[in-house]
Structure 1
Amino acid sequence: MSEDSHTPLSETVTTLASNVYKELERIIKNFGENSVKDLMPVMISTLESLDSALHEREVNKLEIESLKEQTEQLYQQYEREKSFHKEYQQVYFLFFVSIKI
């Protein structure tokens, strides 16, 4: 997690970070710290980017759900207004016919 970020990492990223850390420990044990010193910042940045992408995906999923609900409400409103308009046309037609008689 970056120094300026105060939100916890997602469970998915935390699990991945733990697995990566274990593998890096194994590499360090076998080949020394220098073998991963340049890799560590890349891994941290990658995990933070993944966490950010997962968070953005969740936000997008919520927005999509909200838009689906709004679309359904607008469609229902459209259907009500269409029905009202049809009834209004029928009443108007009957009224117009009755005036001509």
Structure 2
Amino acid sequence: MSEKEEENFNSFLSDGLEAGGSDLEGYDEVVSGLAGGLYSELERLILAHGEGAVSGLMPLTVSVLETLEGVCAESRERGAEAALAREENERLLAQYERERGKRKRTEEVRAPSAPAPGWSEKLWLMYSRTRAP
């Protein structure tokens, strides 16, 4: 693995851990770079030591890279779903606040703040308790 590829890989790992793995923009390029670097390194080993030197390593390497690519794609999908859920949550919260404000204004208009003339204190207390939020 070249120095630049190693730097990209370390950046990939540290950024993913710091951000909780939520920002995967550009990680496809990093995964492709890692695959290219690993391929070059395996090719060098084959030339130096023969195919037997990497026969067990090659399927594992391919599997790891495919899994990493799949995890990145799944994480992107979940991120998109989470963004949609946040937008829906904000919309519902705004709707709830509007409806709560309307209800409060309606109750303020309907509910007198003092007993009507002729009401006894006992009747006013009973009415007030039934109106309490």
**Structure 1 runs not aligned, ≥5 long:** 1-9
Deviation (angstroms), 1:13: 2.1
Q: Is structure 2 residue 93 aligned with structure 1 residue 81?
A: no
TM normalised by structure 1 equals 0.80
Q: Is structure 2 residue 16 aligned with structure 1 residue 19?
A: no
Given candidates 87, 94, 111, the residue that maps to 1:93 is: 111
Count of residue pairs brought into register by the alignment: 90
Q: CA RMSD in A?
A: 1.9
Q: Which has the larger radius of gyration?
A: 2
- What is the 5 A alignment of 1:26-45? 26-45=44-63
**Structure 2 runs not aligned, ≥5 long:** 1-27, 118-133
Percent sequence identity is: 36
Which residue in the other structure is 1:48 paired with?
A: 66
Cα distance in 2 for partners of 1:83, 1:30 equals: 76
Deviation (angstroms), 1:18: 0.4
SS of 1:37's partner is: coil
Which residue in the other structure is 1:7 paired with?
A: none
Deviations 1:75-98 (A, max 9, x none): 10110011000011011125x97x
Please tell me the residue identity of whatever aligns with 2:73: H
